[in-house]
Structure 1
Amino acid sequence: MNNKTTAVFYDGNSSVPQQIELSLNKLNATLEFQISDGTHCKWLVKDVFFDKRATGLHLKYGSEVIQHIKIKDDHFINIIHHFRRENGHISWYQKLLDLGFPAHFGIAVVILGIIGLCYVYVIPWAAEQSVNLIPEEYDNKLGNSAWAGNEYFMNVDSKKTKLLNDFAKQLNLKNTKNLKFIVVKSDEINAFALPDGRIVVFTGILEEMKNYDELVGLLGHEASHVNNRHSMKMLCRSLSGYLFISVILGDANGIMATIGDNINSFQSLSFSREFEHQADVDGYKILLANKVNPQGMSNLFKRLQKHQSISIPEFLSSHPVTENRIEYIDKMIKNQKFTNTNHPQLEILFAKLKQ
């Protein structure tokens, strides 16, 4: 087998090419050649950097002065390649490069798939777990900041705010922090919870209610969002997703702006189906714990769903009432035993709120 070929040599000091006869000494694992001044050169194959291009195989050798050999002989190129592979001189990176376009395309698809799965499943899960490491004082700071940014746009009904707080004091909302209820004058059919324990209810949704048990269901639902720190979990999800994409794309300049945007838009934050389901179940349990008819939650959902076909009302933190949510509540009512009693004080306060 012919282990020799002609090649072009550059000594690294000048741009003048030299024609050389290059040979592969398999016994010594060296590439050997003689240059124009009579110097016999030996390059250890393991110390040579190989770069395969369309123009041929380019060899680079040296540290301070980089010497360069260009080979166009495909047969000799194959000999070098097989020798390097048999002797473990080919790095995993070079092996990857040698796989060809179909393999590269397949690897790219797999990597993109892994990134997509991480973004959809792993990152949100990790973000939610990280909330347990964040002190609840941060919830209060974020809630205060969000309310300060929106307070000037809210027309608070102080009289009904007091009535709603009196109403809530009659209930066990299973809250671990103090809850503060605020009634805002607005035709918007909406209610939302801030992470610091503020629960804002618009008069538009109060006007839709027909019985106090519906209001208990609403407050229980929103209290669950606070109790389970859903706002913080959604904020961490949003930030982690943005950070993940920024790392992938190499751009992390807008993270602080994203934090600010999320802090000031808690009232329009769309909770995930998982969080809404949890809040529905917890709200239902609060109704039972207070011996209030759980049918109130179902009635409210059904009433609000009728409005959705007209104006798609913003309700329960901007998450629309779906048929599945109503069916799930109705199923719990049907399959679970419960005891409800009359609550004269709640009836009185509810009547005043409706005035």
Structure 2
Amino acid sequence: MPIEAIEGKRAAEADLRRLVAGLLGAAGADAPSAAAVARAVIDASARGVDTHGIRLIPWYLEMLEGARINPRPTLTVSATASAVGHVDADNGFGHLASYRAIEEGCRIAAGTGIAAVTVARSSHHGATGVYTLEAARRGFAAIGMTHADRLVVPDGGREPFFGTNPISFAIPAPGEAPLLLDMATSAIPFNRVILRRDTGTPLPPDVAVDARGATTRDPHEAVALLPLGGAAFGYKGAGLAAMIDILCSAFTGMLHGAAMEPLGGPDYGRPIPIGHFFILFRPADFFGAETCYARLAALLSDLRSQPSAPGRKVMAPGDLEKAEADRRRRDGIPVDAATWDALATAAARHGLPLPPATDTRPHA
């Protein structure tokens, strides 16, 4: 995952977390919902996942101010089999429901060694990796996924059918932060298109198409994405997207992505429920924790020591984000100018102070 170059403001993680929770609370969200969203988006921003970080807050506020998201949901947790749980999100924030699903999955897997937890009647939950990472911090390996409305053209197609349908995997790693893979099954997430619009930078080649179905690098012309693998090998990303859509719709009772109304508005008058799917494993219940972590450490060491291409470095999944998290913990989290202005407007409307911030320019 490339770290976007951002010009705007930079502020401390704790200060931004308080601002986000305060804005959501002022817009009507109950305390658990506001805390869960703030936790998820600031965790993403702190690791450099800016597409799914604090820049989502103005959009979430719009949905709260409409009727897209239930600001005070009553979550219902049930068991459908000995190792299967289900969370009904009551049309609330997907962040709250997904953290609750991880809690339930950890509880089940502590007794069975493995757990699958579905989430239904949910909403956008930000970066899927924040939830698998939470499981890994609790000692479990986890796979997470979610579907969404149509934004990605199928392989060989011209019009969108799949959502960006991300998938994530996390596992505790000996002597370091957990290993984390968090990726869309599209060439890029659509939030990167929006971020590029706001930052005035072109898209990479072979990731997006315009209204005619032709590839474009202009973020303002892009209306849909190509699947992972691009125009030539998009059957790979499209196949993964189909798998995720099945698990998050057929296994949760939700509509598949192409049958949903657009999540992005402009009409936020009613909920558009979506599903999430999580699988958790307890490493000790397979070939033993000691063996598992020894093999993992050996793999990571071997991988990172591989010869690299000129100007490159061989990294394990999540290494780039770990390095960025260290930098942002020290220097503060950057917020692009458009998002900062939107947050400032919302803060002024609700009588909330903005946190101390400094001007920042893109790092190399």
TM-score range, shorter chain: under 0.3
Q: Which has the larger radius of gyration?
A: 1
Q: TM-score, normalised to structure 1's length?
A: 0.25
Higher helix share: 1
**TM-score normalized by structure 2?**
0.24
* Higher relative contact order (CA closer than 8 Å, sequence separation 6+): 2
